[in-house]
Structures are given as C-alpha cells and as structure tokens.
Structure 1
Amino acid sequence: MTLTAPPQATSAPAAPPRDLSGRDVAIDVQHLVKAFRKRQGGTLLRPQFSESRAVDDVTFQVRRGEIYGVLGPNGSGKSTLIRAMSTLLIPDAGTVGIFGLDVVRDEAQVRRLLNRVSVDAAFYKKLSPRENLLYSAQLYGLDRHVAEERAQVTLKRLGLKEKAFFEPLEEMSRGMQQKVAIARAFLTSPVIVLLDEPTTGLDPKSRRDVQEFVLELRDVHDATIILTTHDMPEAERLCDRIAFISGGKFVAEGTAEELRGLVGEGKTLEDAFIELTGEGLAEEEGE
C-alpha cells in the first residue's frame, strides 16, 4: 500500500487590491478600551471584583467604501468592539469617530449614519418579515410605501421567496431570519454597516447570497463595512483589509496577502492567524 500526503490547504481567492488612499476616513478608532467587571468572591456586603478588558487599546482607521474584516475566536472582543462602535456601549477610554462625529458626544447623529447586523438579531417572531420591517421603518421615520418596496427588493435580492414576506418569522429557518435582519439594516440606506458574524450558521447557498449582497452594497452604494467573522474564505473574498484580534488586542493588520506574508511563503490566512495569535478559530455562535 502506498501512502500519500494529504493535500495542502489552499487559501480562498483574496479580494482584489483596491486603491483607497485618496478616500476620506469613514471610521477612526483611537486607543479604544472597554472593560467589564466580574465578581470573584467576597461577601454579600463586601463583594470582590476583577476587571477584564474585552477591547484593549485598539486603534485603526477605515476609509469610505472599504470592507474591513476583524477576525478572531469567540471571546476575543469582536462583538464588544462592534457594540462600542454602534453606540450600544460607552467606551471606558479612547474614541470612535464616524465621519468626524464622536459616537458618545454625537450619538443621535451617528445612529442616523449606521446600522448593525448581529448573529443574534431580535425580532417579533410571530409577525411576518413585512410587519417587522414596516415597524422598524416607522421607528426611523421612513415612509411606509418606500420601506415596503425597498424591503421586498432587498429580500428578493437575498433569495427570499415572495410568499415568505407574509409568513410568521417563527416558521422560518435561521438563514431566512438572518436575511430579514440584513434587509432591516439596509432600510435606512446607512453609509456605515457593522456586520457582526452575519453568515454564522447559514447554509452554503444563503451564505453566498449574503456575501454577494455585501459586495454589491460596497460597489453600488459605496457603503463602508466592518465585518467580523470566523470564516477565513469569507474574509479573503470580501475584505480589503483584515485585522486579527486576540484577547481584546489587534495583533496584526493588512491585506490577506500581507498577513500571509508575515509567516512565510505558501502559508494560508488561517496559518497566519494561528501563528500570530497562538489561537485557533471555532465556528460557534456568540462571543
């Protein structure tokens, strides 16, 4: 019997390089810190706490029209970073600027510029996609007819059948619900989109539909996108630049080609991640 070596892992085709050097800075994160306190014993009247930094002195910039990927395992700080950028968490230190607006000082103005899609999107499950989306549109002051037309176009683009527009969400698959979450995020035509693991748990067809839609948003609508993911091929296909995050810190940043080059010829992006962070990636939900 002749034994042969297993085939070497190959990288997905990386996003072609794009010259964004002349573009405005859309997102400017400087020395961002967000910590949480956890109880570590003590008594009822004198509890003892320890502090853990979920985001630890993170600095980066994203230019208008760029897709910027943040790759890291569960618990690395990805979701906390997204929440701080989307005004859902107040930073303990540092700043987040969105087209020159501060996410704390100019919270109301920032919220009009961005929207967020998370892996755990919340809905009224007994209502249909149509009812959920029209309710969200009312919260943003969007015209009902404009919202309904925009929602139907987006859902069809994502592969949702027309009859599903009127069925209760609780009867839909996880993938279909996630497509509704993406449609809801784009009702208001945001210029900044924060995608927190938007394709986790989706079937291959749904994942591809979402990825194609993300590229279309960038190319047609000039949206600036932050994408957190576990999926190396997805990051290579979509992202202009990628940051590795581990223990709340950015360990490395660059194009997929630059990151692979940091660890040697013939290495994959996953090889680079493991060598630079000392961690592996797990395809699990949550943070």
Structure 2
Amino acid sequence: MAHRARDLSNREIALHVQHLVKGFSKKTGGSLLRPVHTESRAVDDVSFHVRRGEIYGVLGPNGSGKSTLIRAMSTLLIPDAGTVSIFGLDVVHDEAQVRRLLNRVSVDAAFYKKLSPRENLLYSAQLYGLERHVAEERALVTLRRLGLKDKAFFEPLEEMSRGMQQKVAIARAFLTSPVVVLLDEPTTGLDPKSRRDVQEFVLELRDVHDATIILTTHDMPEAERLCDRIAFISGGRFVAEGTAEELRTLAGPGKTLEDAFIELTGEDLAKDEEPTP
C-alpha cells in the first residue's frame, strides 16, 4: 500500500544537506612505484532537507551512493565539500553533540557475535551512559515488538539468523531514543515476516516518538509504504524528489514507481556495490 502524504510543511527542519560531495581514490593502473589513481565521486553535489517526524527515502541501486551518503550524515565520513546539519548542528564541527541526537542501522551491522543480544545491547547502553535496568527493559520490549522470543535475548548472536541479528541492530539503534535515525537498507535479506515486523516498527516509532527517519532502500514497495518523500539517486546524484505519487506522475499516466525510476535514471536496481573508503 502506498504511503498517504502528510503535510509536514510547518515542521522544523531536522536534517539539512547542502551541496554534499564525497569521493574516493581508486588505483586504476601504473606500477607499484608509480601507481595511477582515479577519483570517483560516490556522492556528487547532493542537497536536500528533511523535516522533524518525516520519513525520507533515498531509493537507488547498489553503487548509487546511498550508503556513502548515510555514512557522511552519521559522522563516519568527512565530506570533501558541502555541509550536513542535524537540528542546526554541523556533523563535522559539532560531532559529539550530533552523535547524541542520532543513530544508524546498516545492512552490515557489527556485533560481538559470541555475546548475546542482552550483552551487546547493555554494552552499547553503557557507552551512551544509559542506566543498566532502563536499557535492559527497553531492549527487551523492543525485541519483543520486533518478534523475537524472550529466550533469544540470552543466546549467542552467532547462533541466530541474519534476520534476527538485524532486529537486534534495530533495537540497539533505538535504545537511546534518538531523534534522527539513519536506516541503511535495514530490511535487505530479511524474510517477508521479518521485513513486515521492521516496517511496522519504523512507522510506530515515527508516530509515537516523532522520530525523523532517513531510509535508504532499493525496495520499491517498502519506499512507497513508509516514505513521506522519496529521492531517486543515480551515480551519486539526486535526479528526482517528491512523494511517490508525484514521482509516478513524472513518468506518465499508469506508471509505477519502478517505471518512474527507470525512466528518470536510465538504469534498473541491480548493480554492483559502491566503493568504500
């Protein structure tokens, strides 16, 4: 089901990206002593803003720049040019303050796999100064909401499916009640039931906690269901932005969101992974 557009025009701007550029150097030839490198821009002059309580989708294939964009917004990468601000705080100059406002879920979330979800989550809570009993109760409630059985809370993560591990990653991201959440393909590789659990939880967090959520995905139905607005990204650039209905209209009568993406970008959603630093 497509997301029903909400009027967020009177809400404050939570995230503001202006002319963001991030490139990587890749060896393309030469010799061991005289290598030749080529600069590749993973994010190329991207500008947009997201209002408080909005779910903003960045839709594109692997290699289009989605994950690099998320890492730059989350303080993990320093932009080559341009700025990113979270509620007026610059992600480079105000890094410590920004990190207290946001959290990130990626498709390749890292854990201590020998430890249980409980141990991993309590460790993360300590890093944020969250009281142990508060963290444990909040983590258990969230994991139950995402469909995990109580006994799984105490089992080693290495014995769990990827879908269960991803739910733990989502619980970790929301443990500190962030006001901005960056979701980098959070449902990739999940089974249909787990995907639905995660999507419903995202909507619940938006509605109950007024969280601002940036979601990268290459799943068209997911983008239509969750997002207030969607940007198409291709080759590190935004090529179109609007509600799902507005983007379909750009492609012509009777067109799907996928039709619109292919027509506006000239590519499909099956490409190689983007370069990493």
CA distance in 2, matches of 1:88, 1:196: 13
Task: Tell me the CA shift for residue 285 of structure 1.
Answer: 7.7
1:133 equivalenced with 2:121 (yes/no): yes
- Say if 1:230 and 1:283, in contact at 8 Å, map to a contact too: no
**2:247 paired residue number:** 259
1:53 equivalenced with 2:34 (yes/no): no
**2:194 paired residue number:** 206
**2:184 paired residue number:** 196
**2:60 paired residue number:** 72
Larger radius of gyration between Structure 1 and Structure 2: 1
Task: Tell me the CA shift for residue 47 of structure 1.
Answer: 1.6
Tell me: CA distance 1:250–1:286, structure 2 relative to 1, closer, same or farther (3 Å).
Answer: closer
Of the three residues 168, 179, 202, the one matched with 1:180 is 168
- Secondary structure of 1:262's aligned partner: helix
- Secondary structure of 2:25's aligned partner: strand
**1:4 paired residue number:** none
1:17 equivalenced with 2:5 (yes/no): yes
Alignment-mate amino acid for residue 215 of structure 1 = L
- Say if 1:119 and 1:286, in contact at 8 Å, map to a contact too: no
Deviation sequence 1:215-241 (CA, Å, 0-9, x none): 001000000000000110000000000
Length, aligned pairs only: 275
Please report the TM-score for the alignment, with normalisation by the length of structure 2.
0.97
CA distance in 2, matches of 1:163, 1:253: 44
Deviation sequence 1:107-143 (CA, Å, 0-9, x none): 0000000000000001011110000000111111110
Tell me: CA distance 1:130–1:158, structure 2 relative to 1, closer, same or farther (3 Å).
Answer: same
CA distance in 1, matches of 2:54, 2:63: 25
Alignment-mate amino acid for residue 6 of structure 2 = R
Map 1:1-287 → 2, pairs under 5 A:
13-282=1-270
Task: Tell me the CA shift for residue 284 of structure 1.
Answer: 8.3
Task: Tell me the CA shift for residue 286 of structure 1.
Answer: 7.5
Where in structure 2 are there 5+ consecutive unaligned residues?
Answer: none
Please report the TM-score for the alignment, with normalisation by the length of structure 1.
0.94
Alignment-mate amino acid for residue 110 of structure 2 = A
Q: RMSD in angstroms over aligned alpha carbons? A: 1.2
Task: Tell me the CA shift for residue 261 of structure 1.
Answer: 0.1
Percentage of matched positions with identical amino acids: 87
Where in structure 1 are there 5+ consecutive unaligned residues?
Answer: 1-12
CA distance in 2, matches of 1:47, 1:235: 42
Tell me: CA distance 1:129–1:283, structure 2 relative to 1, closer, same or farther (3 Å).
Answer: farther
